[in-house]
Amino acid sequence: MNKNEILTKLPYQKPFLFVDELLHIDESGITGTYTFDKNLNFYSGHFKGHPVTPGVILTECMAQIGVVCLGIFLLNNELNTNIAIALTSNEIEFLKPVYPNEKVTVVSEKIYFRFGKLKCRVVMRDEAGDDVCKGTIAGLITNNK
């Protein structure tokens, strides 16, 4: 399965799609990017006059690239187009703010994948290569019946 096929299987669409490009993927991990468009709706209220990307959105971006895209790759042809996804746990440390129009890179390393559960060590970096946030995220990915 190639990178573009993975993107077409994602069960998200704008404005809740937080994956622009997949740079690398193999059995042990994935790297992808996303640019936070200044016109995303949440910036108008978070925070007044000084927009910052909410931590929950950073976590979602990390989960979409680092767990969902990797899970689709690992399951390959076992998945149909009707995917069921459930976040089961996360522990994220936030280190730096992400502002509108910033491009981030998410790097995920598989910790384990068994019984349908994928757990990964995930880090988000800014364009300077500095860690923005990091931690672990786990989820379940299956065919929706």
Q: Residues with catalytic annotation? A: 46
Mode of pairing for the β-strands spanning 21-26 and 29-35:
antiparallel
Contacts for 50 with CB less than 8 Å, ≥ 6 apart = none
* Of the candidates 129, 111, 133, the residue with the CA atom closest to the CA atom of residue 120: 111
Q: Quick check: helix, strand or coil at residue 129? A: coil
Number of residues that make up the chain: 145
